[in-house]
Each structure stands twice: as C-alpha cells, then as structure tokens.
Structure 1
C-alpha cells in the first residue's frame, strides 16, 4: 500500500466527497414513506404467522391435556 502525505490524503478525500450525490427532499420523503409501509406490512405478516403457529400449538397441547 502506497503511503501518501497528509495533504495528498485531504485532496483525495475532497475529490471523492465531491462525487457524492445527496438525495433530494422528495426522494428522502418517498423512501421514508415506503420504509414505513413495508415495515407495517411485515409486522402484519409476522403477527399473522405467529398467531397461526400459536393457535396450532395451543390446539396440539389441548389434545395432550
């Protein structure tokens, strides 16, 4: 690995940082809304699956008792 001077390192960091493209406010808002929607859908899905498994286990335990 080649060693560079601190000044060269700072220059390289500035060049790379200038390549960063930040999302617009609208893109951020739409992405955040999509994350909340997907989180809600996944929560509903896992709640349903967990409830079904719970009912199955309760039924099987009821057969034993």
Structure 2
C-alpha cells in the first residue's frame, strides 16, 4: 500500500466529508423520538416477560423473590 503524506490525507478527508449528506433538524428530531419510543416499548416488553418468567419459576419451584 502506498504511503500518503499528511497533506494528501487531509485533502482526501475533506473530499470525503463533502460527500456526506447530513440529516435535517426535523429528520434528527423524528429519529431521536422514534429511538425513545422503541426503548420505552422494549423496556415494557422485557419487564412483562421478566415478570411472567419469575411468576412461572415461583409457581413451579416455589422459590424466588
């Protein structure tokens, strides 16, 4: 692999950075809200599954908090 000088490297990085399409403020806000909604749904889902499994263990073995 050919070595690149620091100046060439910086030039290449700038060229690649110009190709990046950044999301709009609205897209960022919507994506952030969707992440929070999905985290909330996942939290509730895993809480319910954990409670059901704990109930099943307690029912079958008579142990558990």
Tell me if TM exceeds 0.5: yes
User: Can you give the 5+ residue segments of structure 2 that lack an aligned partner in the other structure?
Assistant: none
Residue 9 of structure 1, CA deviation: 1.2
Partner of 2:31: 31
Name the SS for the 1:18 alignment partner. helix
Q: Secondary structure at the match of 2:19?
A: coil
Within 5 A, what are the aligned runs for 1:1-65? 1-62=1-62
Q: How many residues align?
A: 62
Q: Which runs of 4+ in 1 moved over 2 A?
A: none
> What's the TM-score once normalised by structure 2's chain length?
0.87
Q: Comparing both chains, which one has the higher relative contact order based on Cα–Cα distances under 8 Å and sequence gaps of 6 or more? A: 2
CA RMSD of aligned residues (A): 0.9
